[in-house]
Chain A
Amino acid sequence: MYKITLNSVVRKILYGLIFWVCAISVSAQKGGGGQLTGSFQANANFFIRDSLIGAANTPQYDRQKYGAEAWLNLNYQNWGFDFGLRYDLFNNSNLLNPTDSYTAQGIGAWYIRKQIDKLGLQVGYIYDQIGSGIIFRAFEERPLLIDNALVGGRLTYDLSENWQVKAFTGQQKQQFDRYDSILKGLNIEGFLLLGDSTSRWSIAPGLGIVNRTLDDASMNSLVATLNTYTERDTFTPKYNTYAFSLYNTLSAGPITWYAEAAYKTKDNLNDPFGRFERDSTVVIGDKYFLAPGSVLYSSLSYAASGLGISIEAKRTENFSFRIRPQAQLNRGLVGFLPPMTRVNTYRLTSRYNAATQELGEWAWQLDARYTTPDRNWSFYLNRSHIDDLQGGKLYREWYSEVIYKHKKLWTLTAGLQFQTYNQERYEVKPGVPLLQTKTPYLDFLYKFTRRKSIRLELQAMLVGDDAAVNSRQDYGNWLFGLVELSLAPRWVFAVSDMYNLAPGRNSPELDGKKKGLHYPRLDVYYTLRANRFSLSYIKQVEGVVCTGGICRLEPAFSGLRFSVTTNF
């Protein structure tokens, strides 16, 4: 009852705030001295059923036919205050759950911020992080509908010109509601120049502490589950978990070294591959356990004229930091563990991705780029290496790329990627061998004029054999081609096709035979000053993505997609 009353009061305050912001913005635009800025983003999907590729059996394909999302951001500054308001809209959207439909709309975020001398204060929806985000990161990732804003208050205080302390408390946002657990944190960070003002040596150290207090309902749910365990498997759960992080960035001329050590006190964790032994049988599945966690992360980079090298390493042990132990996949994340693989952008090189393993991972990555002094040639090399803590092989990637630019007239990019991907672990596909891929690609850009250009892409993915079933692994071999015509500054047209050249064990079947299907795509992009529109016809291959023992269907997509973004 209390919550309902509070929510209605909050709603009234918010609507009052909207009215006020609108009113003052009109007044401001008439010369009141304030500044109103904003942005708008909207997507609309038109679903066209195609059961052969698996674009079927969701509410959108079966009956709704249309889904949309939109976000309107407004920011207003005046009298030393910052005000922000975001309106979120979801109509039959498949962003929250790719196989279901989500409809809701309302105030997605708001904030009021004020700086009073050395003291800064903010209430509302707060996006922030400590260090690299390992112990705390409140962020928004719209393509996955992650919105982990902290709903609460934050104080900052400038201890000196280069030192600041920050304290915050609140609850984590959950769509248009909040999780009941409470978060609070403290962070101090600063900057020190080593030597005189001309020195090229500096450090930027920081220390962070975050505490999560589990709400009673989540604890009761956890206790109910633990009561189903035998005495051997059960434990006394914790309401409070504390995470600490100590980090520093050392800069020495062209060298930058970042190091972070994080520790988490005992927390109620879940092992999706937990073992229950009952009556001489073993069942593998979700199992809660209690353990402290740690992350050691470091990156060392060197950047000089034409040459850039970086090496990163990370060791993770039992560092799943969630708002409640029942949260899974991308829900309820308090911290963010930086991935240790490169972000691939080409269609086929980005097909298999190594999801961060929160419970145990040992990973390193090397990245090197060299550009010749005449800037005609560039060479790039990346190596990723991920094992579990027992030495089991999870992921390997070799990625090489050569770029040649010919008199600003044309550019040729050629590359080759090798991957070893533990599909059994990442996608929970028992008994499948380590997936091996070889993916060569070419990207050719030709400029007819300064504004008119054409770009061609050709990629092939060759996978290994699955001897147990006498077939190629997963979906088998792929071929991808793209032609993109750019008429700057307004128009871009692209047409592409992804073809399952030699189907594998998981390719769709038609009349009892594996079928190599085409997945074409047409795109038109139009840009007019700050407004960008796109219209696409898409057929996209489906896939099952399993993270930590929970499988999620990323369904095939068949249909039209329209999007618009603008800033004002």
Chain B
Amino acid sequence: MKHHPFLLIVILLILIACEEIPPEIRPAKDGETPIETPVSEQKRQVLIEEFSGVRCVNCPAGSDAIQVLLDIYGPQLVPVNIHAGFFAEPYPESRYDLQTQAGYGILEYLGQPLGFPTAVINRKQFPGEDNLQLTQRSWAGRIAEELLEAPTVKIDIRKDFAVTDRLLLVNVDLYFEADIAAEDVRLSVYITENGIEDFQLTPEGKVGNYEHLHVLREVLTDVRGDRLTETIRAGTMLNRRFTIVLPEAWRAENCEIVALVHQDGDSKKVLQAHRSSVE
């Protein structure tokens, strides 16, 4: 018996002595943000659909994390902030109701989160995750993972906005780079708005002039996307047109058009996403 503690101490020392080679950390630096490129040079662009609410105290931290990621990835990250779910009911003093029926439709389609902040990245079921909804701790890693892939489709958004009647014409061009085997491929088009000042619960309390970013305002397609019925092969080019009259309450100069090509069925994964300002 008397030798056993000695053996344990030896094992303990061996364990501690095991030095490991650490991973390389490269903290973000200013001025490295990628810039917009022509569609022919478009790289993989990743969609992040963040579910939020004005009563969600932790959501501003999530939104801030997305802004930091945008500083790093620029146009390669396509953010959408969807006010839907348990914390989304506006306060009596709120100036706007940022909830939309379409937002709830997307939430129902993608599944409910375990907690907030939460986001769905490229609508992908990642290994080791419960469902499509990811907590903030996983966002950066999953985005980096998705960016490693090459795009199978490139998206161009051409638009024409008339200030007088606020009519917005949207042309979405899809350039497929590979054969798509999935049976059900769809296109979804959103309108989002930046810079909406309104109430938001934060760790410091209820703030009246919080700036809401990338807020989903409208979905121009079906909530689950419009099915692309054509046979899709490498070299296929498709075009879809949409129109919408922007309500007066939306500031057109702050609005963006977001287009995403995605699958439907067992896998809902997004093949590519793209955004473009309305004006």
Contact = CB atoms under 8 A, between A and B. Distances in A.
Interface of A: 57-59, 62, 96-97, 99-100, 102, 159-160, 163, 165, 174-175, 177, 179-180, 186, 188, 207, 209, 211, 217-231, 233-240, 242, 244, 265, 270, 272-273, 276, 278, 283-286, 288, 324-326, 328-329, 331, 428-431, 544, 549-553
Interface in B1-42: 1, 4-5, 8, 11-12, 15-16, 18, 20, 22-28
A270 B16 contact: no
Name the residue in B16, B56, B128, B204 with the highest tally of chain A Cβ atoms < 10 Å from its Cβ.
Answer: B128
Name the residue in B22, B25, B127, B139 with the highest tally of chain A Cβ atoms < 10 Å from its Cβ.
Answer: B25
A430 B23 contact: no
Given A159-B4, A209-B15, A270-B137, A227 B25 contact: yes
B143 interface: yes
Given A97-B131, A165-B4, A430-B204, A549 B58 contact: yes
A278 B202 CA distance: 17
Nearest to B60: A283
B115 interface: yes
B135 interface: yes
A328 B28 contact: no
A395 B163 CA distance: 58
B205 A430 contact: yes
A428 B85 CA distance: 18
Interface string B29-67: 000000000000000000000000000111011101100
B141 A221 contact: yes
B155 to A, nearest CB: 24
Contact of A225 (B58, B108, B141, B204): B141
Given A59-B108, A99-B86, A228-B65, A329 B140 contact: no
Contacts of A226: 25, 27
A242 B206 CA distance: 42
B203 interface: yes
A273 B8 CA distance: 38
Given A221-B140, A221-B141, A242 B204 contact: no
Nearest to B64: A283
B267 interface: no
15 contacts: A59-B112, A97-B131, A160-B1, A217-B141, A225-B139, A227-B72, A242-B16, A244-B12, A285-B62, A286-B65, A286-B117, A430-B57, A550-B115, A551-B58, A553-B86
User: Interface residue tally of chain B, by bracket?
Assistant: 35 or more
A497 B119 CA distance: 38
A285 B136 contact: yes
Given A227-B26, A234-B25, A99 B137 contact: no
B140 A550 contact: no
Name the residue in A99, A225, A244 with the highest tally of chain B Cβ atoms < 10 Å from its Cβ.
Answer: A225
A553 B5 CA distance: 48
A236 B22 CA distance: 7
Contacts of B168: none
B206 to A, nearest CB: 8
A59 B112 CA distance: 9
A138 to B, nearest CB: 18
Contacts of B61: 283-286
B15 A242 contact: yes
Interface of B: 1, 4-5, 8, 11-12, 15-16, 18, 20, 22-28, 56-58, 60-62, 64-65, 68-69, 72, 85-87, 108, 111-117, 127-128, 130-131, 135-145, 201-206
B69 to A, nearest CB: 6
B112 A97 contact: yes
Contacts of B18: 240
Nearest to A323: B128
Contacts of A222: 141
Given A96-B130, A283-B61, 11 more contacts: A58-B112, A160-B1, A186-B11, A221-B140, A221-B144, A227-B140, A230-B27, A285-B136, A286-B65, A430-B201, A552-B114
Name the residue in A62, A163, A177, A286 with the highest tally of chain B Cβ atoms < 10 Å from its Cβ.
Answer: A286
A102 B115 CA distance: 16
B20 A325 contact: no
A331 B115 CA distance: 12
A219 B138 CA distance: 11
Contacts of B87: 551
Contact of A228 (B28, B130, B203): B28
| Pairs A-B, 8 closest by C-beta atoms | A285-B61, A221-B141, A100-B112, A224-B144, A225-B140, A550-B115, A99-B112, A224-B141
A373 to B, nearest CB: 45
A228 B112 contact: no
Contact of A326 (B65, B108, B137): B137
Contacts of B130: 96-97, 102, 175, 331
A219 B23 contact: yes
B8 A223 contact: no
Name the residue in A227, A228, A242 with the highest tally of chain B Cβ atoms < 10 Å from its Cβ.
Answer: A228
Contacts of B206: 431
A34 B140 CA distance: 54
A169 to B, nearest CB: 13
A228 B86 contact: no
Nearest to A509: B92
Nearest to B136: A286
Given A220-B145, A221-B138, A550-B135, A207 B8 contact: yes
Contacts of A265: 16
Contacts of A429: 57
